[in-house]
Amino acid sequence: MERINPATGETIETYDEHDEGQVEERLSRAESTFETFRDWSVAERETKLAGVATLLRERMTEYAELMTREMGKPIAQAEAEVEKCAWVCDHYAEHAGRYLQDEQHPSPPGSTVKTVHEPLGPVLAIMPWNFPFWQVFRFAAPYLVAGNVGLLKHASNVPECALAMEDVFRDAGFPDGAFQTLLISSDRVDAVLSDPRVKAATLTGSGPAGRAVAGTAGEHLKKTVLELGGSDPYVVLEDADVEAAATTAAWARNLNGGQSCIAAKRFVVHDAVYEAFIDRFVAEVESFTVGDPMDRDTDVGPQARQDLMEGVHEQVTGSIDAGATVLTGGEPLDRDGAYYPPTVLVDVPQGCPVDAEEVFGPVAAVYRVHDEETAIEKANDTEFGLGASIWTDDLERGERVASRIDAGCTYINELVKSDPRVPFGGVKESGYGRELSEAGIKEFVNRKTVWRQQPETSNEDEIPTE
């Protein structure tokens, strides 16, 4: 596994994959650790998780620089990512006990019935490189505090990030086997997932990867949560605050170099405000500084890998060939590193690459529509269904439009974002299941019914119906 600095193209370091013996050792350790870790009280696990938050903040500079070196995230955004990871630890350290408390149910005289929430065991997480810490903590914080143990298969271009997160959980007092990294290639995931010691899996990534994981897990009847791609619509209606919508739109598309599942990608703008939106949007996009991600003045760094940058450019050139018009950007920058400028395309034909595919880079496709109904149709004209943003001064109208857009999360007058306090996930080709909040922590627990009956009140004549 090569660590290549995407800002320079230089190889930083090379890591050897874990061999079969090392993988076996980690699986065995996960299984044995779970047998004792599951008996920890939620309060004990909350305390350790609070300790993780403290260490993350103490090591913020170290971890931010690590992310920036491995995948090119601008340093200020990397620091914000570390803080967000600390926040999700804070959240579950405070609320896990309430989320996991027993649920009481109505029952006959002489009995009590409740649901308890018990951990499942080792959970395999297959995670991407674009938010190398946040994607991991989004699963690790709730699953560990619930009593599961984690096995991380991270993207091959961020191995040191993966190992650093293993260290931070151990240093905070979690058992050695509670959170472990597997340095393995994608073609070895199937064997790990098939192992009977692994009880469930979560994946953030592409549709093909999600189908492969879901297929293997299905064969073995293992629970999965999938957060896949997105081509989020950003709908600007005629009564919107155009300046606010355009300014936020530029950031919603270009944060993290546009390398985000929930980035706004298709901008659907009402004809009455189209010209004003375009003028402001392009001006804002062109104001961004593209450069060295270690420089605090940089807004957009390099793409994470050279091949990924080339793939984005192929989507742009294919769309131009189909009839799209470039208003700004559209060519790789002539410098060392995988730099691609913020790009805006209009007159986008239906079915061209930037219309029909997920574009994982700083490229915005803008559409002109004549009414609300057409805007909704265009917003839903995608196989994906992760998030959507709707801009209008009429909040009731915004909710009405949001109710008709096929997405797992909709935001009115705000960009789409993940937040520890609310459920996160998609529909259609964007996956299934939910992360974060109470919904996320309950994805990988056994919701066990416990019925207690006083012996003297048991009704021996009662005939079970099932």
Q: Annotated catalytic sites, by residue?
A: 227, 261
For residue 390, give the H/E element and its range.
strand 387-391
Q: Is 238 left (phi over 0), alpha (psi -120 to 50) or beta?
A: alpha
Residue 384 in contact with residue 406, Cβ under 8 Å? no
Structure tokens belonging to residue 62: 């170290």
Structure tokens belonging to residue 458: 């048991």
Per-residue exposure over 221-248, b if at least 16 CB sit within 10 Å of its own CB, e if not: ebbbbbbbbbbbbbbbbbebebeebbeb
Residue 40 in contact with residue 58, Cβ under 8 Å? no
Of the candidates 248, 250, 265, the residue with the CA atom closest to the CA atom of residue 300: 250
Of the candidates 372, 375, 362, the residue with the CA atom closest to the CA atom of residue 333: 362
Instruction: Specify the 3-state DSSP secondary structure of 265.
Output: strand
Instruction: Specify the 3-state DSSP secondary structure of 116.
Output: strand
Residues composing the chain: 466
**Pseudo-torsion of CA 33, 211, 208, 159, nearest 10°?**
0
> How far is Cα 193 from Cα 203, in angstroms, rounded to an integer?
12
> How far is Cα 338 from Cα 72, in angstroms, rounded to an integer?
9
Instruction: Specify the 3-state DSSP secondary structure of 427.
Output: coil
Residue 441 in contact with residue 99, Cβ under 8 Å? yes
Residue 373 in contact with residue 392, Cβ under 8 Å? no
Residue 280 in contact with residue 294, Cβ under 8 Å? no
Structure tokens belonging to residue 93: 């350290």
For residue 327, give the H/E element and its range.
strand 325-328
**Helices 75-99 & 60-71 angle (0-180, nearest 10):** 120
State how far Cα 283 lies from the chain centre: 29
Residue 150 in contact with residue 180, Cβ under 8 Å? yes
